[in-house]
């Protein structure tokens, strides 16, 4: 299996890279070298270096360091590296430790990975015509997280483009105190197939997937160490220009945690959200094809590493692409996205039996939201046919005009369990005249150590999105207790009651775009 995956990934990337490099190669004869770089502790990191054509050593160029994504080989960024080199950058891409031919064990963006990034910068400054005052880092997914962490620990990093990454690892795969099963399983499986997980990662992954609550505090501490949000003060103090890009439907690193992190950055910053799932918004750019995310990345580095007055710093810094229209919208900040809130009531009491999937679910990681990105086909259910013994359903009034949902939907309700632990998943649907609901967003919620029969209030943020509800449609909130995306914690025979006390009414708060 390891060999098959390696061949498949390599073949796809080599083919795509060849297509991407061909036109550029005709325009400029850039230099590509494959090298070994000594990382932290002397660990060998397999890397490639692309330098501008005609460099005779007398000129210094801005340098961009690209750590590879989780489980991806070192040729991942060659097409983009070629484009960057053609426009005057030295580009060093390296395989993160523990993966493919690089040495060491997978550290999951731990301290050794952060130290590796600095060692690669050291090497680039010593062995290429790189300018020490113009150092940037970028990456997709794993490379994005390492780049942000490096910006906190190495003040030489002046600009970062972190694409489909994470700022808070816990809020990414353990949001709502719920294990994101498919995301963790995919990452773990890919790590075993293409790399060498270390003992710490094996232990953490085992405890996480087995729901070992005795180790919950240890797992959270492990995740915090690997979260750029933990080092926010250092990132702000170092002052790197940070561009964040992600997809609305990212099932590995959902967008909420990126938006929260963005709001707390104090240096030059930009936030871009587009339709898709994990890394699908950037994927075509890895094959050298036109790609909006990579275009923004190039402009970002041109402005903050080259000093080019291209206007990107004067544009609205929050840039959103709607899942429904495909058009871009600009906002002054993330708070402006959520400024106009409209509520609908969850007045009716609903009793839900646990442990049975009602049919409402968030889809399949990487596949479902990629289909929504390219074909605009989100998961659907027949809301009238949902089995009410296993799903609670509340609906808004029918809207006379289109409702442009933008930002983070919030749910407030009161839950009464029959057991001390439990999980539910909330889904927001766009419901048409025939009762067919298209998924707008969802999020899980898990509780432990509650007193059976004792109600408690819940505030839950659904995953942020941009979706247009057509005129004549309504919104529906659905809750059930089973979703293949998540690990559920409902004991056999458990029931959940959702109510709306007069002293604390339940509601859904929907952010709408102001016209």
Question: What does the pLDDT read at residue 312?
Answer: 98
Distance CA 140, CA 137 (A): 11
Question: What does the pLDDT read at residue 326?
Answer: 77
Distance CA 429, CA 81 (A): 41
**Does 86 have pLDDT greater than 90?**
yes
Give the bridge partners for 479, in sequence order. 392, 426
Provide mean pLDDT across the span 367-376. Answer: 93
Question: What does the pLDDT read at residue 5?
Answer: 39
Percent pLDDT > 90 in the chain is 91
Question: Which residues are CB-contacts of 128 (< 8 A; sequence separation ≥ 6)?
Answer: 49, 51, 63, 90, 92
Question: What does the pLDDT read at residue 53?
Answer: 87
Question: What does the pLDDT read at residue 164?
Answer: 98
Express each pLDDT in 330-371 by its tens digit. 999 999 999 899 999 999 999 999 999 999 999 999 999 999
For 116-157, the DSSP string reads HHHHHHHHHHHHSSEEEEEEEEEEETHHHHHHHHHHHH-TTE
**pLDDT interval class at 504 (50, 70, 90):** very high
**Does 77 have pLDDT greater than 90?**
yes
Q: Is 457 exposed, middle or buried (0-12, 13-18, 19+ CB in 10 A)?
A: exposed
Token duo for residue 237: 């103090």
Distance CA 161, CA 138 (A): 5
Query: Which of 55-59, 101-105, 197-201 comes out lowest in average pLDDT?
Result: 55-59
Express each pLDDT in 384-405 by its tens digit. 999 999 999 999 999 999 999 9
Quickly tell me which residue has 């890279």 as its tokens: 17
> In a 3-state reduction of DSSP, which class is residue 322?
coil
Distance CA 267, CA 121 (A): 22
| Mean pLDDT computed over every residue of the chain | 93
Q: How many other CB atoms sit within 10 Å of the CB of residue 430?
A: 23
Sign of CA dihedral 506, 179, 175, 251: negative
Question: What does the pLDDT read at residue 56?
Answer: 61
Express each pLDDT in 94-137 by its tens digit. 999 999 999 999 999 999 999 999 999 999 999 999 999 999 99
Distance CA 442, CA 507 (A): 15
Q: How many other CB atoms sit within 10 Å of the CB of residue 305?
A: 22
Provide mean pLDDT across the span 293-322. Answer: 97
Express each pLDDT in 223-265 by its tens digit. 999 999 999 999 999 999 999 999 999 999 999 999 999 999 9
Tell how many helices (H) and how many strands (E) occur in the chain.
Answer: 14, 23
Distance CA 94, CA 72 (A): 10
Question: What does the pLDDT read at residue 54?
Answer: 74
**pLDDT interval class at 7 (50, 70, 90):** very low
Express each pLDDT in 8-53 by its tens digit. 343 333 333 333 343 333 334 668 999 999 999 999 999 999 999 8
How many Cα atoms are found within 13 Å in the side-chain-facing hemisphere of 23? 10
Distance CA 31, CA 86 (A): 10
Distance CA 90, CA 329 (A): 33
**Does 57 have pLDDT greater than 90?**
no
Question: What does the pLDDT read at residue 38?
Answer: 97
Express each pLDDT in 450-486 by its tens digit. 999 999 999 999 999 999 999 999 999 999 999 999 9
């Amino acid at each position: 299996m390891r060999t098959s995956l390696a061949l498949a990934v390599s073949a796809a990337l080599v083919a795509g890279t060849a297509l991407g490099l061909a036109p550029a190669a005709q325009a400029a004869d850039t230099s590509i070298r494959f090298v070994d770089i000594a990382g932290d502790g002397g660990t060998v990191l397999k890397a490639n270096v692309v330098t501008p054509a005609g460099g005779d050593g007398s000129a210094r160029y801005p340098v961009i360091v690209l750590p590879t994504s989780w489980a991806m080989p070192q040729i991942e960024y060659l097409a983009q590296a070629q484009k960057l080199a053609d426009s005057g950058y030295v580009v060093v891409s390296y395989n993160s430790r523990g993966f493919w031919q690089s040495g060491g064990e997978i550290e999951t963006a731990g301290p050794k990975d952060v130290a590796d990034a600095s060692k690669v910068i050291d090497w680039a400054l010593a062995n290429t015509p790189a300018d020490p005052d113009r150092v940037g880092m970028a990456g997709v997914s794993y490379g994005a997280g390492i780049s942000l962490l490096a910006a906190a620990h190495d003040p030489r990093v002046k600009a970062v483009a972190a694409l489909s990454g994470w700022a808070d690892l816990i809020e990414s795969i353990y949001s709502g105190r719920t294990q994101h099963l498919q995301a963790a399983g995919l990452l773990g499986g890919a790590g075993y197939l293409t790399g060498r997980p270390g003992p710490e990662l094996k232990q953490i992954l085992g405890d996480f997937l087995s729901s070992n609550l005795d180790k919950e505090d240890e797992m959270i501490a492990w995740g915090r160490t690997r979260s750029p949000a933990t080092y926010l003060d250092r990132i702000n103090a170092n002052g790197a220009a940070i561009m964040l890009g992600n997809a609305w439907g990212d099932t590995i690193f959902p967008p909420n945690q990126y938006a929260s992190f963005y709001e707390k950055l104090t240096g030059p910053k930009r936030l871009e959200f587009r339709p898709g799932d994990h890394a699908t918004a950037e994927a075509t750019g890895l094959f050298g094809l036109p790609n909006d995310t990579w275009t923004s990345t190039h402009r970002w580095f041109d402005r903050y590493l080259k000093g080019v007055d291209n206007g990107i710093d004067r544009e609205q810094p929050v840039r959103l692409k709607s899942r429904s229209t495909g058009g871009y919208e600009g906002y002054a900040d993330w708070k402006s996205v959520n400024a106009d809130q409209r509520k609908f009531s969850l007045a009716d009491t609903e009793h839900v039996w646990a442990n049975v999937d009602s049919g409402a679910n968030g889809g399949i990681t990487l596949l479902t939201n990629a289909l929504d990105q390219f074909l605009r086909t989100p998961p659907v259910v027949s809301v009238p046919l949902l089995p009410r013994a296993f799903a609670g359903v509340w609906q808004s009034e029918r809207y006379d005009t289109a409702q442009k949902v933008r930002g983070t939907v919030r749910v407030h309700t009161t839950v009464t369990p029959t057991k001390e632990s439990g999980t539910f998943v909330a889904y927001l649907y766009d419901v048409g005249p025939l009762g067919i609901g298209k998924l707008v967003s969802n999020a899980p919620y898990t509780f432990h150590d509650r007193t059976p029969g004792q109600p408690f209030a819940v505030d839950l943020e659904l995953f942020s999105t941009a979706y247009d509800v057509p005129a004549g449609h309504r919104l529906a909130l659905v809750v059930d207790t089973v979703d293949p995306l998540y690990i559920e914690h409902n004991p056999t025979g458990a029931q959940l009651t959702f109510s709306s006390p007069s002293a604390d009414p339940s509601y859904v708060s929907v952010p709408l775009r102001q016209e």
